[in-house]
Structure 1
Amino acid sequence: MKGSYFLIIRLDREKVIRTKGRAFELRPGYYVYVGSAMNSLEKRVARHFRKEKKLHWHIDYLLKEAGLLRAYLIPSEVKLEEKLSLEVSRFGEPVPGFGAGDVKVGTNLYRFDDEPDGTLEGILKGMGLDWKTVKSDEEITEIRW
């Protein structure tokens, strides 16, 4: 299945996240990461839930240090990552340069003081999109569309 996704991440304390070429100073709070997988949405999101993996993307480095609470899988035949990121940017505090190398937005990571689920669901409903929420890689295999 093709589509995009949101990852809901909790960072309990201030942390510097170091990737191969950058360092990001992050404050405690909830973070929403916007991504896409135009080959296998379920496999990409399941990978994010795994603890043991090769560190490749910026998000891998963050997830090594923070808790992944849940993911929203958003099926789509067209790439919506940029549009979704722009919508989330209206509500969350952007982390400049994080994980947006292949899109025209300046970031794909946004910080929130409070849990962002109501905001995200409002965005998805407003865009007329379907989604499923999962809390583990095991739940991904149980998804029925």
Structure 2
Amino acid sequence: MHAYPGTYTLVFRSSVEKPIKIGKLGTLFVKSGYYAYVGSAFGPGGLKARINHHVNRSSRPHWHLDYLRPALSVCEIWYTYDQARREHQWATIHSQARNVVQPLPGFGSSDCRCLSHLFFYRSKPSGTYFRRRIRSELNDHARFVIEKPQKNS
């Protein structure tokens, strides 16, 4: 992964069930299953810096995900180096998936009109299916990459 700007989805697995306080946003009751978090990284360090921050767990929470991160393990990283800001389009695609829940309104979306950028799935979301949706709905979308995390996180 490079330090280029782009959009990402982090797919996490949770095997715990417990409440977690998400800063001033409120409390999220974490369930066993999978969580997908959509974000973008157009600042210094690009995707490499942002994803490394989330994969390596932060001791000082900055983003909503930092509060939730200790209860989750990373399964997959989906990303694109697309110069267009695709975060909201990706969140819309996630929100239209079958049996998906947006468990905490405002999570990761305090600066936009999306209900949430966090999605809960009972079974692991398919990166291949997501890629097909992107290709069918966003004709000018750049290459979509699916990776496994490099270290156990």
TM-score (norm 2): 0.81
Q: Could you give the per-residue CA deviations for residues 55-78 of structure 1, whole angstroms, max 9, x where no partner exists?
A: 111111111111111211211112
Q: Could you give the per-residue CA deviations for residues 83-104 of structure 1, whole angstroms, max 9, x where no partner exists?
A: 1101110012112221111121
Gaps of 5+ in 2: none
Please say if 1:131 is aligned against 2:144. yes
Aligned twin of 1:107:
116
Q: Give the conservation status (yes or no) of the 8 Å contact 2:77–2:146.
A: yes
Identity of aligned residues (%): 25
CA RMSD, Structure 1 to Structure 2 (Å): 1.8
Q: Give the conservation status (yes or no) of the 8 Å contact 1:46–1:136.
A: no
Number of equivalent positions: 138
Aligned twin of 1:142:
none
Deviates more, 1:18-27 or 1:102-111: 18-27
Gaps of 5+ in 1: 139-145
Q: Give the conservation status (yes or no) of the 8 Å contact 1:50–1:137.
A: no
After superposition, where does 1:59-78 map in structure 2 within 5 Å? 59-78=65-84
Aligned twin of 1:93:
101
Aligned twin of 2:30:
26
Change (3 A) 1:79 1:23: same
Runs of 4+ residues over 6 Å off in structure 1: none
Give the letter for the 2:133 counterpart.
Answer: I
